[in-house]
Each structure stands twice: as structure tokens, then as C-alpha cells.
Amino acid sequence: MPFDFRRFDIYRKVPKDLTQPTYTGAIISVCCCLFILFLFLSELTGFITTEVVNELYVDDPDKDSGGKIDVSLNISLPNLHCDLVGLDIQDEMGRHEVGHIDNSMKIPLNSGAGCRFEGQFSINKVPGNFHVSTHSASAQPQNPDMTHVIHKLSFGDTLQVQNVHGAFNALGGADRLTSNPLASHDYILKIVPTVYEDKSGKQRYSYQYTVANKEYVAYSHTGRIIPAIWFRYDLSPITVKYTERRQPLYRFITTICAIIGGTFTVAGILDSCIFTASEAWKKIQLGKMH
């Protein structure tokens, strides 16, 4: 007797003349297909869409930076002449720089009465401060006006990612034009290292920060008022990492198989229950007629 490979078929076919179509089964079948289509499209959207997950850990992510953080500052002082505006930097490593001018630009405002300061500089990864003041001016003005608008203050690389909404420019738009002109402003910053890793594994290093501020009038040892805009910073030991991820293909296929198999199984049970109940009801009605 020749070997019949068809005996391994676990999906035995039933002849059409042994099956019975019903309106209920047709309705359930159409609903079942629509339901499967909806779930399939939902899973397909999730599979195509890139997911951004975040995690926290304690470490210095950018060890190749040489212990430095790049800073970008853009601030307008509409009532202080550019000759008087300067940037000073100091920290706990002993750095004390008055009148930093590298990679900086002063743009006159209000016909020369005001100034817009734009600068890029680096700070050490230790607590410290940088401040905008008249300390570097050859002659101190009598009544320096420190009212200002901060357009931008950011640390590290600029991250423009749609799925990441962090405080990378928390002071952007800060308006102190109605403050006391002779007041000093203290912005206390807590800087949080941030890493963004895309699907290719490329990493970008940036920094988010939280800010608290206070306003006060400060007097020098001679009794004069010398206001300044202080940015005092400290680094958090916690690093935030954002990672782009896409659902694996095998998981997508497994989910689709589960959707199709589960839906047809539940629909078959439902159809069977309805058909059995319908046949039983017909028998009861026939019994009553006889």
C-alpha cells in the first residue's frame, strides 16, 4: 500500500454540501473581519511608529567632553549700553574669568541705549556661576538698569525631537522688564544630564534644568548698588536617557496571529452557541405545534 502523505493534514476539509450557511453566521463573520481589520491597523500603526522610552541612572554620560559643558546664552538688556555689558564666569575649581569675550557678540538695541548679548562658552562640571554684569566695564555707571529678557539659555547639544518634551530651555522667554532696574537677579539652576539615542545607536548629549529665581538689591562694600544677573548652577548625579525603539517584527507577527486566531475562535464559539440555541428553539416550537 503506497504511503499517503495527506494523512498528515490536520486541517481536514468538509464538503460544501455538508455545511449550512446562516444569516447569523454571516453577520458574525462580517463583524469578525471588521474587528480583525481594526486591530490589524492598530498594531500596524504601533509597529511603524517609533517609540521613545526613558530611563534613569547614575553616571556621567559624556565622558569624552573633558569635563566641560557647552552653554548658549541669548539675553537682551534694553536699557544698558553694550560697552557696559560683560559676562563673568567662576566655579569651585578656581576659575574666575571677568569679561569673557570669546564666541560672543553684542548687538545694540534702542538706538544704542540697550544691548543684546549672545554668547557660546563652556563651563566645568562642578558647581559655579556665570553672570551678566557691569563688572568688566572700565567705569561703573551710576544707575545700571538690569531689566532684561532671556531669549535662550541651553546646555549641550540642541535636541529637537518631537516625542521628547523636556526643560532644555526652561528660561527661554523669561521677562523681567517690569522689575526694579537696580535689582540683582539670581537664577538657581539644577542641571540634569540627558542622553538621546536614536535607532542607529547614535547618541546626543544635552542637559535639562530646573530653575528657581529671586530678586534683591545688592550693595558693594562702598555702599553703591551694583546689580547683576546671576546664573548659579549645580549638576544632578542622575542622568536621563531617551532611547528610540521599534517593535520587533517577530512580536508584530505573533500579535497578528493571536488577533486572528483569537477572534475567529471566539466568533466560532459565539456562532455555535447562537446556532444551537436557535435549533433548540425551533424544536420547542415544533413540539408545541404537535
Digit-coded pLDDT (tens) for 12-23: 777 766 677 778
Q: What pLDDT does 1 receive? A: 56
**Residue 145 sits in the same domain as residue 47:** no
- Closest listed residue to residue 73, CA positions, set 140, 178, 172: 172
> Is the pLDDT at 223 greater than 80, yes or no?
no
**Residue 27 sits in the same domain as residue 92:** no
Domain annotation covers residue 193:
yes
**Residue 149 sits in the same domain as residue 106:** yes
Q: What pLDDT does 232 receive? A: 96
> Is the pLDDT at 252 greater than 70, yes or no?
yes
Rounded distance between C-alpha atoms, residue 239 and residue 57, angstroms = 5
Tell me how far CA of residue 18 lies from CA of 198, 247, 279, 280, in angstroms: 57, 44, 17, 20
**Residue 115 sits in the same domain as residue 39:** no
Q: Which residues lie across from 211 on neighbouring strands?
A: 189
Domain count along the chain: 2
Total Cβ atoms within 10 A of residue 120 = 13
**Residue 26 sits in the same domain as residue 80:** no
**Residue 64 sits in the same domain as residue 196:** yes
- Closest listed residue to residue 135, CA positions, set 81, 74, 88, 83: 88
**Residue 90 sits in the same domain as residue 194:** yes
Domain annotation covers residue 16:
no
Domain annotation covers residue 102:
yes
**Residues of the domain holding 200:** 59-237
Domain annotation covers residue 10:
no
Average pLDDT, the chain: 87
Q: What pLDDT does 106 receive? A: 94
Judge contact between 89 and 130, C-beta under 8 A: yes
Rounded distance between C-alpha atoms, residue 195 and residue 157, angstroms = 10
Rounded distance between C-alpha atoms, residue 148 and residue 174, angstroms = 8
Digit-coded pLDDT (tens) for 93-105: 999 999 888 899 9
> What is the helix (H) or strand (E) element at residue 274, kind and residue range?
helix 249-289
Domain annotation covers residue 12:
no
**Residue 162 sits in the same domain as residue 256:** no
**Residue 258 sits in the same domain as residue 232:** no
5: pLDDT confidence band, cut at 50, 70 and 90? confident
**Residue 129 sits in the same domain as residue 35:** no
Domain annotation covers residue 2:
no
Domain annotation covers residue 286:
no
Total Cβ atoms within 10 A of residue 228 = 19
> What value does the mean pLDDT take over residues 205-223?
88
68 Cβ neighbours under 8 A, 6+ residues apart: 122, 123, 124, 125
Digit-coded pLDDT (tens) for 105-161: 999 999 989 999 999 999 999 999 999 999 888 888 888 999 999 999 999 988 777
Rounded distance between C-alpha atoms, residue 176 and residue 229, angstroms = 11
**Residue 140 sits in the same domain as residue 275:** no
**Residue 173 sits in the same domain as residue 255:** no
